Amino acid sequence: EAMASGTALIYDDEMTTYKLLWDDPVCAIEVPERLSRSYERLQHYGLAQRCVRLPVREATDQEITLVHSPEYLEVVKSTQTMNEEELQKTSEKYTAVYFHQNSYRCAKLSLGGALQLVDAVLSGDVRNGMALVRPPGHHSYRDQGNGFCVFNNVAVAAKYAQKKYNLQRILIVDWDVHHGQGIQYTFEDDPSVLYFSWHRYEHMRYWPNLSESNYDAVGKGKGAGFNVNLPWNKIGMGNADYIAAFLHVLLPVTFEFDPDLVLVSAGYDSGIGDPEGCMRATPECFSHLTHLLMNLARGKLCAVLEGGYHLRSLSESVCTTVRTLLGDAVPGLTGEMAPCYSALESMQNVQAALAPYWQCLSLNGIGPVTRCSTEDDPAPEPVSAQQQCADTAATDHFLELHMKDILRPAAAVTTSAVIPDGLKCVLPAGVQIVKQSAPSEQIDAAFSAFTKARFNNSDVLHSAGKMLTVLSNLKADQTRNAVVLSPDASLSAAVALRETLLLGFERVFCVHVGDTDPELRIGDDGKSLFLRICGALPAAVPNTKYQLSLKWTETSDEGSGFFYPLLRFVLPLGYSYRPDVILLAVGSNASIGSKDILLLASLLQGLAEGRILAIIPEWESELTTAISSSLVGCPTTKHLGPYKCPTKECVDALKEEQRMLQVEWELLRSYAAD
Ligand code: Q9C
Ligand code: ZN
């Protein structure tokens, strides 16, 4: 299979040629500017120019009827020639939807645009992409328009992909703030499509007010377990709630499912300032959500626009999504890192509801919330809270400043490499090999703290000199990340940790894979967080806040369960700690497989704005190639699975660690109470 690269962007301003023609406060927010403003912003940042531009096309009747009834298609067709009065009458047949003479044409382009994207990704022309389209799709039913949606773009795209490319398993992630009930209805008895949706719910007080939007709607018949609803019962959900939901609920299930394609119903009404959603996620959160999905399905990810009604928030979040698809550094996640209690209750309930269907959830043994605090207190949100999120100007102002804060100019060099002289090693294009060693005084200073005997090997010194150069470049943002091949990775890691602190990094997340003692001196001042991933725990050293061990040994040819502690332990720790640099050191006797290490390296790049130094034993040439590709932004399209679930023993041990540590590292929390 050829290595797919590039990001597709589908946009056509013809989709701005329909609009609401009469007074309707419900539909007034679905305006043409949603599309044009998003596209302008992509151009403003130079992102549109970096994408592979693909034309839209009209979807055919045959494609539309993969999901919709011929009768409904005829109704939509007939709106082309209607006068305003007839349009209004037809619109009234459905809930929260309006028609215009151009609606049919635009709905065909919108769906056709999504299908163009699927074709580009599945044919290998591009790795991933985004379709900026309207009308949106996820609310529409087989025979009804609903919630601004005419044809169900993503549902049809999934059917189309299955049929044309013979895919076995498709994941649909619906991060729009509304429940995509139309998608749920389409696939609820189908185990080949895993549908995940979070949505504002407020115990059914929020539109579309359906009992089947609740966490207990898990799918039907053979599809039982393949519908995942995470209802938000409070407004104001933010970055921590969204990341926790991905790390603890969506992603474990998804790795166990192991999809061939990821479709995203990418609605941005779940973002800050949206008058519909009243949530608080800031634009960089969508970079993280995107990044977390990019290691699935060999990177095949198609994002299709759904909602999003605060024009500035919408367009900035579209940009962070596309930027991440392009492989740029993921901005640091800002804000509170503790998920709120109501979010934890919802997460707990959905985990309990899905436990019968997913090993990774059943092993955890989490029951439903027995006494649901919000159910006992069914008071609606105070009006003031609702009004605050409707303050468009305040969000505009906030985002003006916020985007300047989070967006850094890209480093001149993406990936630097330190390779011992004479070593043959396949590195992807774009990796810059470091020639320059640091001045000898800097080397002497860096090594002064270490036992002299360790340095009888002059190669270590030589390699370390170049590594010091790289670390200075990381600090100066001249290089985003780096790979270091070392004859003694543990020693190099120890030198690197000391040097990062000397350079003035404030929080160094040091992840060491392997059983050798890396001779690290870890303070308890919080300037470094050391996590050892090993096969055997070092003699009775209890975990402390800043020095932790994770024992994990299971990996076999049938698959690895490492995704589980990675998602539910390593990343929550990292997100809670907010490192400004990451050291990933692979010791000589790693207890996890190379696919596991690759997944670890890929996902850690979501932290520290991608500032990561990977230290690898010099004889691990395949791993070096793979990690370098990931660092430079061209991850191999190799399948990182198969995955298998970890043993009960491993999960129990981890659960105990999570329980002890979640006071300090709040993103480790995944449920409300025992
Ligand atoms: N106060 C999409 O985001 N609003 N559709 C109902 C609630 C309908 C949203 C009134 C919202 C439809 C694609
Ligand atoms: Zn929506």
DSSP 613-624: EEEEETT-HHHH
Residue 626 resides in a domain:
yes
3-class secondary structure, 612? strand
Shared domain for 218 and 282, answered yes or no, is yes
Q: How far is the CA of 479 from the centre of ligand 1 (A)?
A: 44
Answer whether residue 1 shows pLDDT above 50: no
Calculate helix-pair angle for 311-325, 283-293, nearest 10 degrees. Answer: 30
| pLDDT category of residue 421 using cuts at 50, 70 and 90 | confident
Question: Which are the contacts of 360, defined by CB distance < 8 A and separation ≥ 6?
Answer: 252, 253, 255, 256, 564, 645, 646
Shared domain for 481 and 535, answered yes or no, is yes
Over residues 262-282, the mean pLDDT reads 98
CA atoms of 428 and 425, how far apart (whole Å): 10
Over residues 430-445, the mean pLDDT reads 88
Shared domain for 376 and 475, answered yes or no, is no
Over residues 304-328, the mean pLDDT reads 98
CB 526 within 8 A of CB 541: no
Over residues 200-208, the mean pLDDT reads 97
Q: Quick one: CA torsion of 530, 531, 535, 538, rounded to 10 degrees?
A: 40
Answer whether residue 237 shows pLDDT above 50: yes
CA atoms of 118 and 301, how far apart (whole Å): 9
3-class secondary structure, 403? helix
Residue 668 resides in a domain:
no
Q: Which two tokens stand for residue 284?
A: 């960089």
Backbone angles phi, psi at 208, to 5 degrees: -85, 20
Q: How far apart are the first and last CA of the chain?
A: 47
CA atoms of 165 and 182, how far apart (whole Å): 23
* Ligand 1 binding pocket mutation candidate from 26, 276, 309 (most atoms within 8 A of CB): 276
Element (H, E) at 388: helix 383-389
Over residues 406-432, the mean pLDDT reads 91
Residue 330 resides in a domain:
yes
Give how far Cα 497 sits from Cα of 437, 491, 521, Å: 18, 10, 9
Answer whether residue 378 shows pLDDT above 60: no
What local confidence, expressed as pLDDT, does residue 555 receive? 64
Backbone angles phi, psi at 141, to 5 degrees: -100, 175
E strand segments, 167-295: 170-174, 193-200, 227-232, 261-266
% of the chain exceeding 70 in pLDDT? 94
Element (H, E) at 344: helix 341-354
Per-residue pLDDT tens over the stretch 493-534? 999 999 999 999 999 999 999 877 666 777 789 999 999 998
Residue 659 resides in a domain:
no
Q: Quick one: CA torsion of 310, 340, 266, 296, rounded to 10 degrees?
A: 150
Calculate helix-pair angle for 594-604, 621-632, nearest 10 degrees. Answer: 20
DSSP alpha helix (H) spans, 448-580: 458-475, 489-502, 563-565, 571-577
What local confidence, expressed as pLDDT, does residue 310 receive? 98
3-class secondary structure, 229? strand
Give the closest residue (by CA) to ligand 1 atom 5: 147
CA atoms of 345 and 334, how far apart (whole Å): 23
Work out the mean pLDDT of the chain and round it to a whole number.
93
| ipTM value | 0.98
Q: Which domain holds residue 35?
A: 7-406
Over residues 65-70, the mean pLDDT reads 98
Give the closest residue (by CA) to ligand 1 atom 8: 147
Q: How far is the CA of 96 from the centre of ligand 1 (A)?
A: 7
Q: How far is the CA of 235 from the centre of ligand 2 (A)?
A: 14
Shared domain for 369 and 423, answered yes or no, is no
Shared domain for 522 and 401, answered yes or no, is no
% of the chain exceeding 90 in pLDDT? 77
CA atoms of 438 and 470, how far apart (whole Å): 9
**For residue 198, which ligand has an atom nearest its CA?**
2
Domain C-terminal end among 349, 382, 406: 406
Q: Which two tokens stand for residue 82?
A: 């209607």
CB 431 within 8 A of CB 467: no
Residue 11 resides in a domain:
yes
Give the closest residue (by CA) to ligand 1 atom 1: 207
Over residues 220-234, the mean pLDDT reads 98
What local confidence, expressed as pLDDT, does residue 364 receive? 85
Place of tokens 């810059």: 432
Shared domain for 339 and 448, answered yes or no, is no
Residue 273 resides in a domain:
yes
Classify each residue of 435-462 as buried b or exposed e, where b means 16 or more C-beta atoms within 10 Å of its C-beta: eebbeeebbeebbeeeeeeeeeeebbbb
7-10 and 227-232 strand pairing: unpaired
Over residues 330-342, the mean pLDDT reads 97
Answer whether residue 663 shows pLDDT above 50: yes
Task: Please give the distance of CA 452 from its chain centroid, rounded to a whole number.
Answer: 45
Give the closest residue (by CA) to ligand 1 atom 11: 147
What local confidence, expressed as pLDDT, does residue 673 receive? 83
Answer whether residue 571 shows pLDDT above 50: yes
Domain C-terminal end among 362, 380, 406: 406
Q: How far is the CA of 301 from the centre of ligand 1 (A)?
A: 25
CA atoms of 597 and 605, how far apart (whole Å): 13
Residues with a catalytic annotation lie at 139
| pLDDT category of residue 389 using cuts at 50, 70 and 90 | confident
Q: How far is the CA of 314 from the centre of ligand 2 (A)?
A: 11
CA atoms of 224 and 232, how far apart (whole Å): 22
Cβ atoms within 10 Å of 144's Cβ, excluding its own: 18
CA atoms of 392 and 272, how far apart (whole Å): 10
Element (H, E) at 550: strand 547-551
Q: How far is the CA of 217 from the centre of ligand 1 (A)?
A: 21
3-class secondary structure, 247? helix
Q: How far is the CA of 2 from the centre of ligand 2 (A)?
A: 36
Shared domain for 290 and 419, answered yes or no, is no
| pLDDT category of residue 244 using cuts at 50, 70 and 90 | very high
What local confidence, expressed as pLDDT, does residue 453 receive? 59
CA atoms of 64 and 92, how far apart (whole Å): 22
What local confidence, expressed as pLDDT, does residue 260 receive? 97
What local confidence, expressed as pLDDT, does residue 79 receive? 98
Q: Which two tokens stand for residue 617?
A: 């034993």
Give the closest residue (by CA) to ligand 1 atom 12: 147
What local confidence, expressed as pLDDT, does residue 262 receive? 98
Give the closest residue (by CA) to ligand 1 atom 3: 307
Residue 483 resides in a domain:
yes
Task: Please give the distance of CA 565 from its chain centroid, rounded to a whole number.
Answer: 17
Give how far Cα 251 sits from Cα of 39, 196, 584, Å: 30, 10, 22
- Strands lying side by side in the sheet with 301-305: 52-54, 7-10, 128-131, 301-305, 261-266, 170-174, 193-200, 227-232
What local confidence, expressed as pLDDT, does residue 388 receive? 67
Shared domain for 400 and 461, answered yes or no, is no
- Count how many domains the chain has: 2
**For residue 209, which ligand has an atom nearest its CA?**
1
List ligand 1's pocket residues with C-beta within 6 A. 26, 96, 136, 139, 147-149, 176, 178, 207, 267, 269, 276, 306-307
Shared domain for 467 and 506, answered yes or no, is yes
Q: What is the CATH number of the domain that holds 398?
A: 3.40.800.20
Shared domain for 215 and 277, answered yes or no, is yes
Per-residue pLDDT tens over the stretch 542-554? 788 999 999 888 6
Answer whether residue 160 shows pLDDT above 60: yes
Question: Which are the contacts of 377, defined by CB distance < 8 A and separation ≥ 6?
Answer: none
Q: Which two tokens stand for residue 548?
A: 């932790």
Over residues 260-277, the mean pLDDT reads 98
* Ligand 1 binding pocket mutation candidate from 98, 138, 148 (most atoms within 8 A of CB): 148
Residue 669 resides in a domain:
no
Over residues 231-241, the mean pLDDT reads 98
Ligand 1 atom closest to Cα of residue 138: 13
Lowest mean pLDDT among 97-101, 488-492, 502-506, 620-624: 488-492
Give the closest residue (by CA) to ligand 1 atom 13: 307
* Ligand 1 binding pocket mutation candidate from 20, 178, 205, 389 (most atoms within 8 A of CB): 178
Shared domain for 385 and 425, answered yes or no, is no
* Ligand 1 binding pocket mutation candidate from 139, 176, 201, 202 (most atoms within 8 A of CB): 139
Shared domain for 277 and 142, answered yes or no, is yes
Answer whether residue 60 shows pLDDT above 80: yes
